[in-house]
Amino acid sequence: MKIKEVKMLHEAGVISCLIAIRSPSKPRDWLIQIVFDDASLEKPQRPVLLHNSLGEAKVFRRLNTLLGEIESITGEFYQQVEFERAIDVQGDMFL
C-alpha cells in the first residue's frame, strides 16, 4: 500500500497501528506494517506493508528515517519508541 493511501486511511480512522518490523530477507533493514481496525471495516483486512512508488515494499535502513515516515503519515511527533523481542511459538528468542 502506497503512502498516499495509508495517509488517507489513517485520517479516516481505518488504521489501528503502524508497526516497524525487521525485513525477513535482510535483518538489518526495516519495513512498516499497516494494521487495520477491523471494527471500522466491512470485512477484516490482513496487515500489509508500506510500498514505494514502484509498488515494492519500502525498505528503511535507519530507524530514524522509518520513524520520520511514520510521523509524516500520522502527523504526530513521537517522543518515545518501545521495542519488543520477537518470540516464536516455542518461546525461543529470535534476537
> pLDDT tens for residues 6-16?
999 999 988 88
Structurally, the chain folds into a number of domains equal to: 1
Question: pTM of the entire structure?
Answer: 0.79
| 91 domain residue, yes or no | no
pLDDT tens per residue across span 39-84:
766 776 788 999 999 999 999 999 999 999 999 999 988 877 777 7
Judge whether 49 lies within some domain: yes
In a domain, 43, yes or no: yes
For position 4, what pLDDT does the model report? 92
Residue 14 included in any domain = yes
Residue 85 lies in a domain: no
- Round to whole Å and give the CA distance between 85 and 70: 21
> What integer is the mean pLDDT of 29-33?
94
Q: Which domain holds residue 16?
A: 3-74
Taking CA atoms, 36 is separated from 7, 16, 47, 56, 67, in Å, by: 13, 5, 7, 20, 19
Higher-pLDDT residue of 95, 76: 76
In a domain, 50, yes or no: yes
Is residue 86 in some structural domain?
no
- 7 located within any domain: yes
Given a contact cutoff of 8 angstroms between Cβ atoms, the answer to whether 70 and 80 are in contact is no
Packed helices 3-11 and 63-74: angle between N→C axes, nearest 10 degrees? 50
What's the pLDDT score for residue 94?
A: 42
pLDDT of residue 41: 67
**pLDDT at residue number 95:** 39
